[in-house]
Amino acid sequence: MKERLSRQRVLEAALAIVDAEGLGALTMRRLGAEVGVEAMSLYRHVPNKEALLDGIVELIVLEIDVPAVDDGDWAEAWRGVGRSYRQAALAHPNAFPLVTMRPLATPEALRRIDAAYDLLRRAGLDEQTSIVAFRTLASFTRGFALEEVTGRALGAQADGVEHRLDPRELPAAEFPRISELASRLVAADHGAVFESGLDLILTGLRAELERLATGSPA
């Protein structure tokens, strides 16, 4: 036995398995084998499989950077948050759905939420507007990353699911728009589309701020 096991080593091995072979490949026995230990020994470091998954989420959250605001460009700072979140997702496509689906209440996650929200408040938004802006930006980012990662957008899906119909071939008559769209969506520069979408929201936000500043009612 080379060196002692640790929660950290267990989590990293778990993430590596999921990255390489998908969530379905992550079993306690398999994970044990990977770190050179029987399955039950893992329970010394992790209370159960749920917690193991939470730990994987934690690892991914750690990869997200929320920049401290230096210059005053809060919009650019938020773009940075979004990019970093998306990069973390793309780096772990198999594991990322976990992040979107489990409560993010670890200290590290809260720290990031706090900092991202802080960017908006420091930009001068009032509480109400900040909440809307935060949830809109966060929802968009999460939804976008999740779509990319599950590869739903008419692109190549990973596993051997054949019985599903491939939009690139079938129903051109019935779905005129989609068949027009399919090839473009597959070939799209997702990063650029992401940036444009983010800009759309930021533009809307700036307009809202102006409306509030000039005091014109709804």
Partner DNA sequence: TCCCGTAGCGTACAGCGTAAGCGTTACGGT
Partner DNA sequence: ACCGTAACGCTTACGCTGTACGCTACGGGA
Token pair recorded at residue 80: 């940075």
Residue count, binding to DNA (CB under 7 A): 21
Q: Contacts with a copy of itself in 13-42 (CB under 8 A)?
A: none
Question: Quick one: 47 or 191, whose CB is closer to DNA?
Answer: 47
Select the binding partner of residue 184 from a copy of itself, DNA, none (C-beta < 5 to 8 A, by kind): a copy of itself
User: Cα angle at 202 between 198 and 208, to 5 degrees?
Assistant: 150
Nearest to 92 by CA among 1, 26, 136, 36: 26
Residues 31-50 vs DNA: string with x where CB under 7 A?
Answer: -x----xxxxx-xxx--xxx
CB hemisphere CA count around 155 (13 angstroms) = 15
135 binds a copy of itself per the rule CB under 8 A: yes
DSSP, res 22:
-
Which one of 147, 172, 183, 186 is in contact with a copy of itself (CB under 8 A)? 147
Decide if 77 contacts 67 (C-beta within 8 A).
yes
> Segment near a copy of itself (CB under 8 A), from 5-13, 34-42, 73-81, 175-183?
175-183
Among 1, 68, 70, 103, binds a copy of itself (CB under 8 A): 103
The DSSP annotation for 88-151 comes to: HHHH-TTTHHHHHHS---SHHHHHHHHHHHHHHHHTT--HHHHHHHHHHHHHHHHHHHHHHHHT
Residues that bind a copy of itself (CB under 8 A): 47, 50-51, 97, 100-107, 110-111, 113-115, 117-118, 121, 127, 131-133, 135-136, 138-144, 146-147, 150-154, 157, 161, 163-167, 171, 174-178, 180-181, 184-185, 188, 193, 196-197, 199-205, 207-208
